[in-house]
Amino acid sequence: MKPDLMPKNNTMTKNPIGVMDSGVGGISVLKHIHALLPHEHLIYVADSAHAPYGNKSQDEIKKRCFAVADFLIAQEIKALVVACNTATAAAINDLRAKYALPIIGMEPAVKPAAAASKNGIIGVLATVGTLKSAQFAALLESYGRNVEVVTQGCIGLVECIERGELDTEHTQHLLQQYCAPLLAEGADTIVLGCTHYPFVRHLIEKIVGESVSIIDTGAAVANHVNTIMQTQSLSTPLKALPTITFWTNSKAIDSAAVIRQLWANDNADIRYMS
Ligand code: DGL
């Protein structure tokens, strides 16, 4: 039976929202959530010791998602945001089946891209895991029928961003390689189908030029979180500055530095979990 995690009284409204990703990429979503809901306490988990999820089996990803969700639920979160396209595709149904709290996932923005494209050719940059998933196939079936969709798995890119390499030659070279097929097919709209990629958006913009639109899902996810808070009466009544805590299990020496770099705050509260 599911644990009853729904609020029984309004004390739960003061609890934090949990946000998880395979690593530091979901910080791009966390920024949108914090901007829209500036009084909500937030707990972020970077499962960086197990990143990338993109080349793991669905079962392995599910196992990691359960471990991280258990960790966050033990800290009495009132909602869980899976700020990872790959984890959403692999595990969102199982997470929702196991836990009773609101769980918000995300998927590559094929629908808005198809609506925005002028020439009907859209590109999707994502992990191999997302592109191979049944959820992505269903997304294309629903929203990709009237457009040409060019997909590109970006092997190795998540690892660059995990190391904080947002401007190195290697990262630029990978992006050139991955954007080239989309440009060759004439895509006028490119979807960032992985939450790590907004951190290298500046490089992608340079490669694809101004005539190509880039779509990131972070703001839409934050809007959805806001809607859930309101419709389920979970919005915080607090008006003070919230606590924002980062947890990472990465053993890399500079993992805290990368979180500080991406969150753009030298005083970020970063803790280690096993
Ligand atoms: N941020 C994850 C996503 O949105 C990256 C997945 C990975 O770890 O490969 O898909």
User: Which atom number of ligand 1 is nearest to the Cα of residue 22?
Assistant: 8
Task: Give dist(CA 148, CA 132) in Å, integer.
Answer: 17
- Residue located nearest, by CA, to atom 9 of ligand 1: 54
User: Which atom number of ligand 1 is nearest to the Cα of residue 25?
Assistant: 1
Q: Where are the domains of the chain?
A: 11-106+219-272, 110-216
- Residue located nearest, by CA, to atom 8 of ligand 1: 52
**pLDDT value for 2:** 53
Identical fold for domains 11-106+219-272 and 110-216, yes or no, is yes
User: Which atom number of ligand 1 is nearest to the Cα of residue 52?
Assistant: 8
Q: Which of 196, 200, 201, 215 to mutate to test the pocket of ligand 1 (most atoms within 8 A of CB)?
A: 196
Rounded to 5°, the CA angle 19-149-217 comes to 20
**pLDDT value for 11:** 72
11-106+219-272: CATH class:
alpha beta
**pLDDT value for 8:** 45
DSSP H or E run through 263: helix 255-263
**pLDDT value for 7:** 46
How many angstroms is it from 102 CA to the middle of ligand 1?
A: 21
The side-by-side arrangement of strands in the sheet containing 213-215 is 148-153, 121-126, 189-192, 213-215
**pLDDT value for 10:** 60
- 195 ligand 1 Cβ < 6 A: yes
**How much is the pTM?**
0.95
How many angstroms is it from 1 CA to the middle of ligand 1?
A: 30
Q: Report helix, strand or coil for 241.
A: coil
Rounded to 5°, the CA angle 10-16-21 comes to 145
pLDDT under 70: residue ranges of the chain: 1-10
State the catalytic residues.
84, 194
The architecture CATH gives domain 110-216:
3-Layer(aba) Sandwich (3.40)
How many angstroms is it from 129 CA to the middle of ligand 1?
A: 9
Task: Give dist(CA 247, CA 192) in Å, integer.
Answer: 25
How many angstroms is it from 152 CA to the middle of ligand 1?
A: 14
The type of residue at 200 is V
**pLDDT value for 4:** 47
